[in-house]
Amino acid sequence: MPSLVQLQADFDAASRAGLNAALKAESQGEGAMGAIGNFLRVQTGARSVEPREGEDPDAVLSRAADAVRRGNIQAALDDIATLPAAGQDAMSGWTAEAQRWVAARAALGDLSASVK
């Protein structure tokens, strides 16, 4: 099982991959200007570093990153689940590890409650 520190350390690379995949997928339906804008964002790696409102992949991942920093992995998983499929697929390795961590924490909580 990964540690919280490991999940936090691995999130940046996973979110970059998720954002790139989501932007590339979105570009296919946004016309020339949207495609150019998304291409430039992918090439420069530009993304929000502070949590922000919105439903676009960058906003979603900015909130997920904030949740990961605060140790709220379930909230991050909930945000990631709203990404386009391509973004979710690109982050599947990280999300699988995060789901294992959440499940292990829940099992530990259940065990602790049953011992009391």
In angstroms, the Cα distances linking 63 to 35, 39, 94, 101, 110 are: 24, 22, 16, 19, 28
The pLDDT tens digits of the residues spanning 28-49 come to 555 544 545 545 555 555 566 7
pLDDT score of 33? 46
Model's pTM, two decimal places? Answer: 0.81
The answer, yes or no, to whether residue 100 has pLDDT greater than 50, is yes
pLDDT score of 32? 47
Burial of 8 from C-beta contacts in 10 A (0-12 / 13-18 / 19+): middle
Whether the Cβ atoms of residue 68 and residue 7 lie closer than 8 Å to each other: yes
51: DSSP letter = -
User: Which residue has better confidence, 34 or 104?
Assistant: 104
The pLDDT tens digits of the residues spanning 73-97 come to 999 999 999 999 999 999 999 999 9
The gap from C-alpha 76 to its chain's centroid, in whole angstroms, comes to 6
